[in-house]
């Protein structure tokens, strides 16, 4: 698919993953990319979705927009996360059908996998059980978009594909402690402990769960490659093919941040899914392989965080003086 000749809409294109996808689309030759903002197009409202298609007539839609957070945010917003993620996708795919969109790229989540999926997760295991409870409403809402895309492919001939990225990290991640995922949360904890002189930080759970992490720029490459080259009904895992325990991760981030205090664990807080690591063989169909080494990616993320923090603090001081 020649992206230069296509009108492309990227929902969530101003977000963490989205801004990297938009950059990669431009690298790959796209010159007509539109990013709808919620202030103008609230995608939970069907009228706004219909207007988006009418006003921009996309050839390709890459649906990245999502309402999600870490374990605590998912637990505390179960109903809202289920509803908003489900209704956004349902409206976008249905109106893509009416608008005769050439290709719909749906971005799912590995929270859709069953709680005790055999490791490494294979796409065929998606339906072998119920998701981990704190992630289930979000994960199931996203999984329904896979079902919808496959159903529309069968009945209407829609070219809809579904990608399943593993946990992402990198520049522009969400560092809000109320909604962040584990890597930005740990970076922020270490930063604040160093600044305050605290002798310890406390992390959720017992540190035993494992996770796989993919650098966000690698994920953006995968999404654009699939947009260009993948046209099958089967979902595709997007990952790096390794796992690390949360306890090991916390130690590594503390080392890279220069925090030398104690890492404590609050076992009254939930662990989340016991293990996450993907089988990534299917992504070879469109030539994707992760290339960023984990330690290198963490160093880049920490550097970005520190630079962004410095800019924010300098701006606050400047405003206070004026």
Residue with tokens 């002798």: 199
Asked if the peptide bond before residue 240 counts as cis, ω within 30 degrees of 0, the response is: no
Q: Which residues contact 28 (CB under 8 A, 6 or more apart)?
A: 3, 224, 228
Backbone angles phi, psi at 263, to 5 degrees: -105, 115
Dump strand ranges (E) for 129-187: 160-165, 167-169
Going by the DSSP 8-state scheme, the letter that residue 159 receives in this structure is: -
Q: Is 238:166 a contact under the CB 8 Å cutoff?
A: yes
Structure tokens of 190?
């270490």
Asked if the peptide bond before residue 14 counts as cis, ω within 30 degrees of 0, the response is: no
Selected catalytic residue, list 138, 152, 169, 215: 138
Taking alpha carbons only, the member of 187, 193, 192, 177 closest to residue 298 is 187
Q: Is 192:198 a contact under the CB 8 Å cutoff?
A: yes
Beta-bridge mates of residue 8: 33, 60
Dist. CA 282–CA 77, nearest whole Å = 33
Do the strands 210-211 and 244-245 form a parallel or antiparallel pair, or are they unpaired? antiparallel
Secondary structure of residue 147 in the 3-state scheme: helix
Going by the DSSP 8-state scheme, the letter that residue 130 receives in this structure is: P
Among this protein's residues, is 138 annotated catalytic? yes
Dist. CA 256–CA 106, nearest whole Å = 35
Structure tokens of 176?
């809000």
Q: Is 43:90 a contact under the CB 8 Å cutoff?
A: no
Dist. CA 145–CA 141, nearest whole Å = 7
List the catalytic residues.
Answer: 138
């Amino acid at each position: 698919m020649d992206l230069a000749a296509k009108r492309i809409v990227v929902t969530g294109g101003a977000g963490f993953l989205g801004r990297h996808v938009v950059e990669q689309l431009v690298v790959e030759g796209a010159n007509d990319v539109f990013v709808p903002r919620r202030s103008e197009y609230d995608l939970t409202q069907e009228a706004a979705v219909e207007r988006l298609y009418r006003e921009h007539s996309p050839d390709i839609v890459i649906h990245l927009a999502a309402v999600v957070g870490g374990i605590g945010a998912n637990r505390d917003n179960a109903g809202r996360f289920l509803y908003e993620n489900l209704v956004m996708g349902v409206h976008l795919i249905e109106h893509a059908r009416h608008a005769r969109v050439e290709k719909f790229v749906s971005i799912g989540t590995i929270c859709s996998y069953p709680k005790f999926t055999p490791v490494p997760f294979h796409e065929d295991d998606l339906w072998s059980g119920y998701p981990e409870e704190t992630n289930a409403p979000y994960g199931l809402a996203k999984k329904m978009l896979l079902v919808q895309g496959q159903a529309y492919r069968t009945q209407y001939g829609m070219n809809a594909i579904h990608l399943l990225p593993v946990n992402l990290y990198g520049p522009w991640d969400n560092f809000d402690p109320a909604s962040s995922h584990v890597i930005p949360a740990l970076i922020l904890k270490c930063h604040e402990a160093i600044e305050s002189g605290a002798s310890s930080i406390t992390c959720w759970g017992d540190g035993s769960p494992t996770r796989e992490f993919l650098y966000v720029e690698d994920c953006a490459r995968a999404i654009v490659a699939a947009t260009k080259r993948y046209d099958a009904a089967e979902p595709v895992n997007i990952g790096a093919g390794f796992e690390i325990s949360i306890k090991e991760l916390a130690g590594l981030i503390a080392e890279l941040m220069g925090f030398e205090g104690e890492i404590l664990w609050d076992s009254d807080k939930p662990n989340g899914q016991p293990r996450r690591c993907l089988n990534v063989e299917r992504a070879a169909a469109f030539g994707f392989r992760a290339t960023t080494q984990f330690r290198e990616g963490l160093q880049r993320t920490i550097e970005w965080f520190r630079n962004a923090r410095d800019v924010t603090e300098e701006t606050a001081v400047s405003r206070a003086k004026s």
